[in-house]
Amino acid sequence: MELTEHDIAAYLGAHPEFFERHAELLGNVQLQSPHGNRAVSLQERQIELARDKMRALEHHLADLIRIAADNDAIAARLVDWVRALLAQDDPAELPRTVARELERCFALPHAALRLWNVREPWATQDWAADVGADVPLLAASLAQPYCGTNAGFEAAGWLAAPPASLALIALRAADDAPAFGLLVLGSPDAARFTADMGAEFLVRIGQLAGSALQRLVRAD
């Protein structure tokens, strides 16, 4: 019966003590090094493999450290933004504070919002201007923020300049509540907001803004 490579590999896997009984093979077996045109012993090859794995782990660890640092920076900006909202004691200025502080804290070129069903004391504010029927329908359809190109959205017209990319975030008092507003973030950079970007952070922005602004709208 002729042994195949699979048979040999299976045997060595099932009998790791083989190389303990035949330790001389570790030094005598010559393999081609992947790092140059030279032959190395089995022991040297194992060391090279271990070093390659270590380098891969080091690169992965460096990526994790970078991601953690990025997340820490985002968390600090988020706290800065929330503190600005809490410090605003004028309800009429709160929507403007939401947009203005988003621009400041996150280096956003443009941010704006509109609310509907606004309570009577603030019904004449610019952020309560009539948006027609399409915008509330759009906001109601957004289970997640929309990120991508400006496809002629009415909300893009609320910004100081036409955006190449934007994010649309529905504002709600709770995740399962009806939308009472729409927040739009815009950028001249087409790569700033893309369809394949993670939206978790934008979801948090919408949740916090919705909680802060719900006092301005009617409950019905």
SS3 of residue 167 by DSSP = strand
* Residues 114 and 188 reside in one and the same domain: yes
Rounded to whole angstroms, the Cα distance separating 154 from 173 reads 23
Stated as kind and residue range, the H or E segment containing 110 is strand 110-115
Q: Is residue 76 part of a domain?
A: no
* Residues 99 and 204 reside in one and the same domain: yes
Q: What is the pLDDT of residue 34?
A: 58
Q: How many CB atoms lie within 10 A of CB 213?
A: 24
Q: Is residue 61 part of a domain?
A: no
- pTM of the predicted protein model: 0.72
The CATH number linked to 161 is 3.30.450.40
* Closest of 113, 117, 138 to residue 180, by C-alpha: 117
Instruction: Report CA dihedral (156, 157, 161, 162) to the nearest 10 degrees.
Output: 50
Rounded to whole angstroms, the Cα distance separating 169 from 171 reads 6
* Residues 193 and 92 reside in one and the same domain: yes
Q: What is the pLDDT of residue 50?
A: 78
Q: Is residue 20 part of a domain?
A: yes
For the chain, which ranges sit under pLDDT 70?
A: 1, 8-9, 12, 18-20, 22-46, 220
Q: Is residue 67 part of a domain?
A: no
Rounded to whole angstroms, the Cα distance separating 64 from 143 reads 30
**Residue 118 lies in domain:** 88-216
* Residues 93 and 168 reside in one and the same domain: yes
Q: What is the pLDDT of residue 32?
A: 57
Amino acid at 179: A
Q: What is the pLDDT of residue 68?
A: 75
CA distances from 165 to 101, 130, 168, 181 (A): 20, 24, 10, 20
* Residues 124 and 183 reside in one and the same domain: yes
Number of structural domains the chain divides into: 2
179-217 per-position pLDDT tens digit: 999 999 999 999 999 998 888 999 999 999 999 999 999
* Residues 105 and 170 reside in one and the same domain: yes
Q: What is the pLDDT of residue 71?
A: 77
Chain centre to alpha carbon of residue 172: 21
β-bridge partners, 156: none
Q: Is residue 58 part of a domain?
A: no
* Residues 35 and 104 reside in one and the same domain: no
* Residues 45 and 96 reside in one and the same domain: no
Q: What is the pLDDT of residue 62?
A: 81
